[in-house]
Structure 1
Amino acid sequence: MGRGRAKAKQTKVARDLKYRTHETDFGALARELHGEQDGAESPDGGDDHDEWSDYAERDRT
């Protein structure tokens, strides 16, 4: 019970993915999968700071 709304949404999303045309940049996809850098900074801002390291240091004290 109560699955009707969730199933309807999944059906809507599946139809949208099936019938909508996508403009896929396969070159960008290949660069991302191979890890090549084209001189641009990374999507997360480019800093190498690990956000979880702050918590690890605090727990050790």
Structure 2
Amino acid sequence: MGRGRAKAKQTKVARDLKYRTFDTDFGDLARELHGDEGERIPDQYADLAEKFGDSAAS
């Protein structure tokens, strides 16, 4: 008992995900996943990249 509300919510979320339309930029996604040689780091992360960039590669 008591599972009705949880199941209804799961059904609602699943239906929303199934029928929602997404505006996906697949080119941007591919660049993010594969990386570019000329990849630019956003300004908000530039100081972290300088601090931890070399240590992460080793």
TM-score after normalising by structure 1: 0.54
1:12 is the counterpart of 2:12? yes
Partner of 1:35: 35
Aligned residue pair count: 47
Unpaired segments ≥5 residues, structure 2 = 53-58
Distance 1:29 1:7 in 2: 33
Q: What's the RMSD between the two structures over aligned residues?
A: 2.5
3-state SS of paired residue (1:23): coil
Percent pairwise identity: 70
Unpaired segments ≥5 residues, structure 1 = 51-61
TM-score after normalising by structure 2: 0.56
Which of the pair is proportionally richer in helix?
2
> Within 5 Å, which residues of 2 pair with 1:18-57?
18-36=18-36, 37=39, 39-41=40-42, 45-46=44-45, 47-48=47-48
* Deviation, structure 1 residue 40: 4.8
